[in-house]
Structure 1
Amino acid sequence: MSYTTFDFSVADHVAHLRFNRPDKRNAMNRAFWQEIRHVFAAEIGTQRADVRVVVISSTGPHFTAGMDLSAFTDIAAVTGDPARRRERFRRELLAYQDSFTVIEKCRVPVLAAIQGGCIGGGVDMVSACDMRYCTGDAFFVIKEIDLGMTADVGTLQRLPHLIPQGLVRELAYTGRNMPADEALRCGLVNRVYNDQQAMLDDVMGIARDIAAKSPLAVHGSKEMINYARDHTVDEALNYMSVWNAAFIHGEDMPEAFRAMQEKRPPRFLDLAVGDKS
């Protein structure tokens, strides 16, 4: 499938998804929400066995301005019985939410490389990523409060797991900018870079390092971290025992030990792909 709101390429087991609407500040129009869901749920999720890591980056001075205002116009244009309008709105909102939930549930790590403004829906999206990196001019804004609405696509559900509760509340209630240095101090981003090219070079290097590891072990690590976030320690430990009982007896550990003994890079099989159903 060809995409209209971002470029998509794969090299060295790393998929690179790059927003390509800089003239619109990479605002998320209706096509974007459909395309982002398709690339993660279908292409990366069930078709591309060679993808082991995903990097999301952008073009122009800003990462994304968030929701394109045309999407709000589409919602307001719906007419008819009030109850049915609201039922339709709920279904559409769940679909918007799923557009970023597929990032969180993607079995491979997803890294976000952010420059300039990461606004509104941009915060929803990067909150669903595994790691975030940014340039010194980056800033993060929960902009929905200034539009008279509550952020509803994942920020308020995921951000409290990434940074302190009091800070989340301040950002959500005030709509103020969080600059890059503050994002680094509170742990929202892992590193801050002088410019976008330096950031992309380093983030791609991190992605290649991850891609060189056992894809099954990386997938298991992401699964366990996400599960532990949402469950008790006892529940997470129990799930860990089931996971390793199922997957530790494959070829990856023997290959890792052989590679160490032979002083060479390990050669791991790709994960299997196929229809989720």
Structure 2
Amino acid sequence: MTVPNLKNYSTLSVSIEENIAHIQLCRPQELNSMNLAFWAEIPEAVRYIDEHALARVIVISSQGKHFSAGMDLSVFENMGASFKGEPARRAEKFRRHVMQLQDTFNALEEARMPVLAAIQGGAIGGAVDMISACDSRYCTQDAFFCIKETEIGMTADVGTLQRLPHIMPHGLVRELAYTGRNMMSKEAQSCGFVNHVYPDQETMLLEVFKLAKTIAAHSPMAVAGCKEMINYTRDNTVANSLNYMATWQSGMFQMPDVMEAMSAGQQKREAAFENLQPKSDKL
């Protein structure tokens, strides 16, 4: 079903079934390029789903031949028009603009539920920034990945260079960034960037949604804890991460979900867990 509280976006199609949110990039004629509207819509949709606890897993896919051609030309043109005025103030403004773009994909990483990316065809430039912020990636045989920014005279600045070194070998990240070459699906799987390669998009989506359904069947508190700890460990020492784990567990480890999981296993039925509570900024 289409979620009524998520407005009709111009770049996205959003639906939720069986605790799984499906966000599709829906501008296939434009190769799902990331226009100005996209940069506002994708974080709004993800954060709304998270804040209202509408799903336990988010799957991101796209319509058409290619996943995404990356940054739309209109965004570059808009940036170019802003390069005027006193240099220091112009630079300060541009820094804030880049950080706003970065925050778009931070939303994927900050969401309490896992975000799975299903990629067909090309994932170019900004699309690599986006999927690098997802929890796991899956692709079709014809998929390829390209850090295109170097080829057009700029340094990738929305997350690729910060996240990829935590996902694949540093030497390979440097090669891809320095050359701007395409990394094909087989190589992407062999280096651990994608978890699995499928023959076509239909098969990929079928299998990714099976995986999402398995995740959604588990305690959402346990899954959210896994994501929180893995992200924290990536950015901190083992000792600090173990300390944080102990602190987290002292509050978040409660018996109802454990007892329900054990009971369901004994009775050979699907466990029934409460959803996460919606976030609230109100005191």
Say whether the fold is shared (TM-score over 0.5): yes
Matched, 1:27 2:24: no
RMSD over aligned CA atoms reads 1.0
Q: Could you say which residue in structure 2 is the equivalent of 1:133?
A: 138
Q: Could you say which residue in structure 2 is the equivalent of 1:241?
A: 246
1:188-231, CA deviations, whole angstroms, 9 ceiling, x for partnerless residues? 00000110000000000000000000000000000011111111
1:75-115, CA deviations, whole angstroms, 9 ceiling, x for partnerless residues? 11123222222111111110100000110111100000000
2:273 and 2:54 mapped to 1: Cα distance? 11
Give the C-alpha shift of residue 46 in structure 1: 1.1
Matched, 1:255 2:251: no
Give the C-alpha shift of residue 250 in structure 1: 4.4
Structure 1 regions of 5+ residues with no counterpart?
Answer: none
1:209-228 equivalent positions in 2, closer than 5 A: 209-228=214-233
Residue 66 (structure 1) aligned to one of 66, 70, 80: 70
Structure 2 regions of 5+ residues with no counterpart?
Answer: 1-6
Report the residue type matching 1:116 in the other structure. G
Matched, 1:111 2:116: yes
1:7-41, CA deviations, whole angstroms, 9 ceiling, x for partnerless residues? 00000000000010011000000100000111122
Q: Could you say which residue in structure 2 is the equivalent of 1:205?
A: 210
- Contact 1:108–1:218, Cα closer than 8 Å, also in 2: yes
- How many correspondences in the alignment? 275
2:15 and 2:195 mapped to 1: Cα distance? 24
SS of 1:188 mapped into structure 2: coil
SS of 1:251 mapped into structure 2: helix
Q: Could you say which residue in structure 2 is the equivalent of 1:10?
A: 16
Q: Could you say which residue in structure 2 is the equivalent of 1:55?
A: 59
Residue 188 (structure 2) aligned to one of 183, 187, 206: 183
Q: Could you say which residue in structure 2 is the equivalent of 1:36?
A: 42
1:275 and 1:46 mapped to 2: Cα distance? 7
- Contact 1:46–1:275, Cα closer than 8 Å, also in 2: yes
Q: Percent identity of the aligned residues?
A: 55
Report the residue type matching 2:108 in the other structure. I
Report the residue type matching 2:153 in the other structure. G
SS of 1:66 mapped into structure 2: coil
